[in-house]
């Protein structure tokens, strides 16, 4: 396996429109065209290819929470099938599923009714409605901070 420095050198040359910067987490800023990554993290190469995939695929936002899960899956697929082989990095299904599991848990927590704890559905961006009791709530962005749910109606 190549070094992270070597990978970043190759990616920077192949994708000069994107900037790669050291950060304490991995994320893609579509507005700034910056791929943030932690060079010293476990599986840094795999996660860097994943974030690069977001950039290549033009991911810039989402309207519904479930759309984020699809964007994540698409980026992992591209990283595993296209970028991994190109750069000699094997991205295992375990790494992908462990990462996607965090998004599935995030989605589950957002969809849990704060009134009765049953599952709700997102009816508009950040607005959920419980399938069991009809309660409605708004959620915050909560990708990098604590989840908050705010009731919109009372029974």
Domain boundaries, the chain: 4-108, 112-151
Report how far apart, in Å, the C-alpha atoms of 108 and of each of 23, 103, 128 are.
28, 8, 12
State residue 39's pLDDT score: 94
pLDDT at 18: 98
Which pLDDT score, from 0 to 100, does residue 2 have? 61
pLDDT value of position 142: 61
Label residue 79 exposed, middle or buried (CB < 10 Å: 0-12, 13-18, 19+).
buried
Please name which of 49, 51, 65, 75 lies closest in space to residue 126, comparing C-alpha atoms.
65
Q: Who's near 117: CB < 8 A, 6+ residues apart?
A: none
The parts of the chain modelled with pLDDT lower than 70 are: 1-2, 142-150, 153-155
User: What is the pLDDT at residue 141?
Assistant: 75
> Given CA atoms 30, 142, 110, 107 in this order, what sign does their dihedral have?
positive
């Amino acid at each position: 396996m190549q070094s992270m420095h070597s990978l970043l050198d190759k990616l920077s040359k192949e994708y000069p429109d994107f900037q790669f910067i050291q950060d304490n987490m991995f994320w893609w800023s579509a507005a700034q065209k910056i791929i943030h990554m932690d060079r010293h993290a476990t599986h840094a190469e795999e996660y860097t290819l994943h974030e690069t995939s977001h950039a290549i695929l033009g991911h810039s936002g989402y309207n519904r929470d479930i759309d984020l899960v699809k964007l994540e899956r698409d980026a992992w697929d591209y990283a595993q099938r296209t970028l991994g082989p190109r750069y000699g990095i094997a991205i295992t299904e375990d790494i992908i599923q462990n990462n996607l599991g965090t998004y599935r848990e995030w989605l589950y927590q957002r969809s849990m009714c704060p009134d009765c704890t049953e599952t709700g559905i997102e009816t508009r961006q950040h607005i959920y409605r419980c399938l069991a009791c009809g309660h409605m709530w708004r959620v915050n962005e909560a990708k990098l901070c604590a989840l908050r749910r705010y009731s919109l109606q009372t029974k």
